[in-house]
Structure formats: C-alpha cells, structure tokens
Chains A and B, each alone.
Chain A
Amino acid sequence: MIELLYLLLEDAWFAWIPAVGFAMVFNVPRHMLIYCAIGGALTHSSRFLLMHYGVPIEWATFIVSANMGFLGLYWSRKHLIPRPVFTVASVIPMIPGSYAFTAMIALVEINTTGYSLGLMQLVTENGLRTLFILTALSFGLALPSILIYRGRPIV
C-alpha cells in the first residue's frame, strides 16, 4: 500500500513537469500555470492508479479526462477563462505521441525495406492505439459541454 502511494506520488511529480512545459509552449498566462500543473499531476497519476487495477488504457484515459473536463469547467467558471486553457495542457502528458511516431516510422520503413508482417503489425497496432486514446481524451474533455451545456457558452 505504501509502495503504491510512493509510486503514485512519483508519477504525479513527473507528470506536472510536461504539463507546465507544454502549457508554456502554448503561452498559457503565468498565473494559470499552477492549474495546469495540478491538472497534469492529478490526471496522469489517477490514470496510473486505474491502470494499476487493470482498467484498459483507453477507458482509464476516458475516465480521467472526463473528470478533468468537469474540473476545468469549475475553474473556467471561477476565473472566466476558456476551458481549453487548463484542460488541454493538463492532458498533454497522456497524449500517445510515442505510439503515433512508432506507427509513422514503421510506415516509412515499409516503403524502404518492403512489406513485412512485423512492420505492418507495428503500424496497425500503434496507429489504432493512438486513434483510440486520442478520441477518448478529447471526448472526455468535451463531455461537460456535450452533456450539460449543449451549445450554450460556458463563460
């Protein structure tokens, strides 16, 4: 139990850094960076927890990003700031970038070295995983405006 708590804390610590780093690339205002850090640490560590108890990565991503969507809703009503400012930077650590690049590189390799089952497997599996995780991520974030606000402005 203590071991798990330690792993969670470590995960949260390493997750806030990319959230803030990418928030700075998107030029999120300075006093909002702390929310991106909190969001990044919370989402990535709770996804780690869900995956630790055997939830598949797509569903775990969907659940935590839906929660992030509602948390972002609260923050955005409180500070009168559009939601993507907090939410997108917070889920950046969960973007399946490595899968996407592996799929693309395997695609380029098929062109140079010829078709092989191993390469095609890499393309399909990594490509599909990218697609599903990404859809889960965006759908989760959009959930509050799809279910509750339905076209009305949030702030």
Chain B
Amino acid sequence: MRYWRDPLDAGQVGAPRGDVHILADRCKGCAFCVEYCPRQVLEMSREFNRKGYHPPEIVDAEACVNCGLCEMICPEFAIFSVESAGLAGDLAGVSVGANIRAGEGAS
C-alpha cells in the first residue's frame, strides 16, 4: 500500500499483529499464499510434507498484520492467522508509517 503522502496520524495508529498457522500436511503447494501475502511473511519451504508437496514456511513472523488474505485465498483450508494478543494497536508495533516504508522497500 502506497500513499501519496504519509497520513497525519501515521505515528499514532497501530496495525494489528497476527500469528500465522500452517497446517503443513494439508497443503498442496499452490503458492497462492506466498504470492499474495502483502507483507512477504511466507516463502515456499524446501521440505516436503506427508503428501510430497512443498508447503509454505514462515520467514518473517513479525511482519504479519493479520489481514487474513492467506486464509481466504487458500483452497486447501491449510493456513490461517489469529490476532496475537496484546500487540494489536500497540504503538511500538507495526505502524501505518512503517507499513508505507516497508511497502516501498518490498514492492
């Protein structure tokens, strides 16, 4: 997400934080979650699951903002995120301003 300027309350508004949970043995390795995660939390693993597919693995757990996109797009019901307690809205957490800066670096 890019804005043409930093929002005025960028320093005060906190983004939620999420914990990603992967049910690796249910995954069929389509990589939708890895491709469309807006925060690049995931990467395809080099390991195999029980069915012989490569499931995603978490490479940047801190970056998750609990948007739930991975959960919605996963055709296998194999990934979801839950809001991590205590960190939502935390000023020390991921702020919108940090989002913009991270987004600029990543996209």
Do chains A and B interact in one complex? no
